[in-house]
């Protein structure tokens, strides 16, 4: 393309129309506030106020029933450091998150890559992957309890078929957390496949064609063209899955209730247990705040790292 | 699609990718298929190793027995009521606020928006204990039906979400402002513009938000677990968990209950799959 030489003087910028004087309490101001009021009231009461109440609660002793909630200073926070069950719960949460997040991303990417093509019945195949998203966490838990049953489970039958002896799975303190990892990866497959498929469909076909003409093999093209362009999807899944992994609760409740021998007691399970089973709401609020800070930190670090290593196309 | 195998004229009558996609899809739905199969087996067939893959004669009585042993009708009705109220409220409240944030200049708009969006970062565990206390207060001081152990308590904290406001505001900003200005010049009110021009143009965004809201509301578990204890106020996931506690080794019965619990959501999901997919894709890529 030839760029025309600019011989004329640059055109004068169009005159800015005189801005109508903005009166904060004019008709617009009133309408604006009227429209946002329902949302502000609802989110104020159930989203903002609780954040402050929770902070207050974390410095008090509360059993959720008696109206007196005496101040206890930093006791609830100090208690966390000395509570072996809480420290164990942190360990389980870290193990879970460290396996679940990359596992889900890998499975999601592989399935999405396989399903990113226009063959017959592709929508049927994709539905098979998406559908896992609609299965409630409790249904999921019940199904996997049965699939991995020590005595009659389908998984053990398959293992026996290839010569591996039956495993106790969720009944075993050393295996239970890994079964929960596998189960939740299955449950999140639909979600991650959707995200990766959307990202893969955004990769321009011309790039692949050009590289193919230059002799790049399919795997090389995938590694050098597709993967870098998946950056935003990777970051989104990394952050979103991590936030959700740190908040694991339902699937544990539905399968192991934190057991056997507390082997699957994760932070939120312990927190719920302290607040609504043992009625130590102040302590639970302190744990919730600690979790909040950790989630904020982890998210900030992930964004920072992503910026550093991002490949900008 | 056909494939050329080097050096031969042989052509596969279908894409070779089917050979990957069929086992892959099958593997993904095995857990659901196994649930369905077990729900049609007798107790003897289920408690057999190696497992009986095909029941001799489907036992549909598992379904009627499960239905008789827990008030699943109640669970469905409760879930439906909660989901519909939460959905309608979210669509109305979030579109009003989303439109104001997108188009109207009012005092404190920027600050207010940032403050509301900040709630998106707060995990539910931080707010759940105070929300429990607030809901309890509403039940005692405002109306019993909103309090602890009533389905009102499941609706009240979820009537509006910061995410819904954010999502709709983003979409409303893409609606051509000229259309609105023309109507404004003709004397249409702000609300008139929203309902007659902006919302009809925003149906895809509204459907996407609706899909996300339905899925979240229907499958919510932790909050119902905290506030509901009476069987007649339970939603489907909580009722299923309760049923599981009572029948935890009667697998065919439990699986029949599981199939019944899943069926409505699976049908809605398959029917409106486009919007569910869109809801994830749009949060993932734009969010």
Confidence (pLDDT) at A303:
85
- Judge: A53–B240 Cβ closer than 8 Å, yes or no: no
Contacts with A179 from chain B: Cβ below 8 Å: none
Q: CB-based contact (8 Å) between B40 and chain A? A: no
Q: CB-based contact (8 Å) between B36 and chain A? A: no
- Judge: B50–A160 Cβ closer than 8 Å, yes or no: yes
Confidence (pLDDT) at B189:
86
Question: Which of B26, B125, B287 is nearest residue A236 as measured by Cβ atoms?
Answer: B287
Choose, out of B280, B285, B286, B287, the residue to mutate when testing the contact with A (most A CBs < 10 Å). B280
Instruction: Classify B11 as helix, strand or coil.
Output: strand
Instruction: Classify A71 as helix, strand or coil.
Output: strand
Confidence (pLDDT) at A6:
47
Q: Which helix (H) or strand (E) holds B178?
A: helix B177-185
Task: Determine contact, residues A255/A182, Cβ cutoff 8 Å.
Answer: no
Q: Please give the span between the terminal C-alpha atoms of chain B, in angstroms, as a whole number.
A: 36
CA distance B125 to B223: 10
Structure tokens at A49: 């106020």
Q: Is the pLDDT of residue B10 over 90?
A: no
Task: Determine contact, residues B258/A146, Cβ cutoff 8 Å.
Answer: no
Q: What is the mean pLDDT of residues B51-79?
A: 91
Instruction: Classify A29 as helix, strand or coil.
Output: helix
Structure tokens at A153: 């489970």
Could you please report the per-residue DSSP string of A40-69? Answer: HHHHIIIIIHHHHHHHHHTTB---SSSS--
**Distance, CA of A167 to chain centre:** 30
Question: Which of A121, A240, A291 is nearest residue B125 as measured by Cβ atoms?
Answer: A291
Instruction: List Cβ neighbours of B17 (8 Å cut-off, separation of 6 or more).
Output: A114, A117, A119, B1
Q: Is the pLDDT of residue B7 over 80?
A: no
Bridge partners of residue B4, in order along the sequence:
B11
Stretch 155-214 of chain B: residues touching chain A, C-beta under 8 Å: 156-162, 165, 190
Closest-CA distance of chain B to residue A240, Å: 9
Task: Determine contact, residues A169/A155, Cβ cutoff 8 Å.
Answer: yes
Angle of helix B251-271 versus helix B18-38 axis, rounded to 10 = 130
Identify which of A127, A120, A307, A132 has the alpha carbon closest to the alpha carbon of residue A232: A307
Identify which of A295, A294, A289, A246 has the alpha carbon closest to the alpha carbon of residue A269: A246
Task: Determine contact, residues B264/B271, Cβ cutoff 8 Å.
Answer: no
Q: What are the two backbone dihedrals, phi and then psi, of residue A31, each rounded to the nearest 5 degrees?
A: -60, -45
Q: How far is CA B66 from CA A147, B29, B70, B231, B246, in A?
A: 20, 23, 7, 15, 11
Q: Is the pLDDT of residue B236 over 90?
A: yes
CA distance B271 to B191: 32
Q: Is the pLDDT of residue B133 over 70?
A: yes
CA distance A136 to B268: 13
CA distance B2 to A114: 17
Question: Which of B30, B50, B122 is nearest residue A51 as measured by Cβ atoms?
Answer: B122
* pLDDT mean by block of 10 residues, chain A; 313 residues: 47 55 70 93 95 94 87 90 93 96 95 90 91 93 94 93 93 94 95 91 83 86 82 87 94 92 94 94 94 91 79 47
Tell me if the pTM is above 0.90.
Answer: no
DSSP state of B248: T
Q: Is the peptide bond before B50 cis (omega within 30 degrees of 0)?
A: yes
Bridge partners of residue A60, in order along the sequence:
A71
Tens of pLDDT, residue by residue over B94-109, are 999 999 999 888 888 9
What is the ipTM score, two decimals? 0.88
Angle of helix A176-201 versus helix B273-286 axis, rounded to 10 = 90
Q: Which CATH number fits domain B70-246: 1.10.443.10, 3.30.70.20, 1.20.1270.30, 1.10.3720.10?
A: 1.10.3720.10
Query: Helices then strands (H, E): number in chain B?
Result: 16, 0
- Judge: B21–A147 Cβ closer than 8 Å, yes or no: no
Task: Determine contact, residues A88/A75, Cβ cutoff 8 Å.
Answer: no
Q: CB-based contact (8 Å) between A158 and chain B? A: no
Q: Please give the span between the terminal C-alpha atoms of chain A, in angstroms, as a whole number.
A: 23
Q: CB-based contact (8 Å) between B115 and chain A? A: yes
Q: Average pLDDT of chain B? A: 89
The label of the residue with tokens 């079964």 reads A179
Q: What is the mean pLDDT of residues B72-84?
A: 95
Does domain A78-309 fall into CATH 3.40.190.10?
no
Residue burial B208-222, b: 16+ Cβ < 10 Å; e: rest: bbbbbbbbbbbbbbb
- Judge: B240–A138 Cβ closer than 8 Å, yes or no: yes
Q: What percent of chain B has pLDDT over 90?
A: 58
* Domain extent listing, chain B: 70-246
Q: CB-based contact (8 Å) between A152 and chain B? A: yes
Q: What is the mean pLDDT of residues B125-142?
A: 93
Question: Which has more pLDDT, B219 or B188?
Answer: B219
Confidence (pLDDT) at A308:
74
CA distance A53 to A282: 11
Stretch 219-278 of chain B: residues touching chain A, C-beta under 8 Å: 219, 221-222, 225-226, 236-238, 240-241, 244, 251, 254-255, 258, 261-262, 265-266, 268-270, 273, 276-277
């Amino acid at each position: 393309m030839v760029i025309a030489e600019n011989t004329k003087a640059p055109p004068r910028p169009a005159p800015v129309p005189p801005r109508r004087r903005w009166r904060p309490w004019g008709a617009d101001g009133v309408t604006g506030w009227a429209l946002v009021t329902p949302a502000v009231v609802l989110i104020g009461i159930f989203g903002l106020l609780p954040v402050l109440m929770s902070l207050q609660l974390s410095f008090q002793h509360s059993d959720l029933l008696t109206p007196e909630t005496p101040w206890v200073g930093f006791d609830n926070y100090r208690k966390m450091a000395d509570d072996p069950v809480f420290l164990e719960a942190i360990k389980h949460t870290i193990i879970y998150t460290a396996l679940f997040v990359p596992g889900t991303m890998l499975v999601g990417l592989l399935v999405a890559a396989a399903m990113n093509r226009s063959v017959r019945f592709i929508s049927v195949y994709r539905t098979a992957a998406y559908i896992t998203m609609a299965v409630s966490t409790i249904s999921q838990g019940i199904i996997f309890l049965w699939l991995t049953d020590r005595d009659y489970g389908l998984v053990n039958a398959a293992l026996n078929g290839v010569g591996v002896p039956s495993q106790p799975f969720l009944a075993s303190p050393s295996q239970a957390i890994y079964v929960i990892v596998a189960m939740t990866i299955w449950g999140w497959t639909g979600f991650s496949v959707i995200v990766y498929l959307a990202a893969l469909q955004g990769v321009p076909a011309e790039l692949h064609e050009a590289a193919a003409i230059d002799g790049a093999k399919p795997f090389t093209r995938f590694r050098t063209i597709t993967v870098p362009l998946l950056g935003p999807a990777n970051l989104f899944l990394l952050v979103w899955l991590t936030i959700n992994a740190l908040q694991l609760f339902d699937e544990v409740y539905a399968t192991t209730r934190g057991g056997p021998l507390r082997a699957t007691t994760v932070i939120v399970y312990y927190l719920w247990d302290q607040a609504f089973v043992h009625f130590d709401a102040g302590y639970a609020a302190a744990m919730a705040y600690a979790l909040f800070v950790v989630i904020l930190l982890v998210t900030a670090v992930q964004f920072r790292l992503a910026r550093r290593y991002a490949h900008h196309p | 699609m056909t494939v050329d195998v080097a050096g031969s004229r042989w052509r596969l009558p279908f894409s070779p990718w089917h050979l990957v996609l069929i086992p892959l899809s099958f593997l993904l739905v095995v857990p659901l298929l196994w649930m369905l199969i077990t729900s049609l087996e007798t107790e003897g067939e289920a408690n057999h190793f190696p497992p009986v893959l095909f029941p001799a004669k489907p036992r549909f009585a598992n379904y009627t027995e499960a239905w008789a042993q827990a008030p699943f009708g109640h669970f469905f009705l409760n879930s439906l009521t909660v989901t519909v109220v939460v959905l309608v409220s979210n669509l109305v409240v979030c579109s009003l606020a989303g439109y104001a944030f997108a188009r109207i200049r009012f005092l404190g708009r920027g600050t207010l928006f940032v403050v509301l969006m900040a709630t998106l970062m707060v995990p539910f565990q931080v707010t759940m204990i105070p929300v429990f206390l607030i809901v309890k207060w509403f039940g005692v001081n405002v109306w019993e039906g909103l309090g602890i152990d009533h389905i009102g308590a499941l609706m009240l904290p979820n009537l509006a979400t910061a995410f819904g406001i954010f999502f709709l505001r983003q979409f409303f900003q893409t609606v051509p402002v000229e259309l609105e200005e023309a109507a404004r010049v003709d004397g249409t009110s702000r609300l008139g513009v929203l309902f007659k021009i902006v919302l009809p143009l925003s149906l895809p965004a509204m459907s996407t938000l609706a899909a996300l809201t339905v899925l979240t509301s229907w499958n919510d578990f932790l909050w119902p677990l905290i506030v509901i204890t009476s069987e007649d106020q339970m939603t489907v996931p909580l009722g299923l968990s309760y049923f599981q506690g009572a029948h935890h080794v009667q697998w065919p019965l439990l699986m029949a209950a599981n199939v019944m619990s899943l069926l409505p959501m699976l049908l809605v999901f398959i029917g409106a799959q486009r919007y569910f997919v869109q809801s994830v894709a749009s949060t993932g890529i734009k969010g």
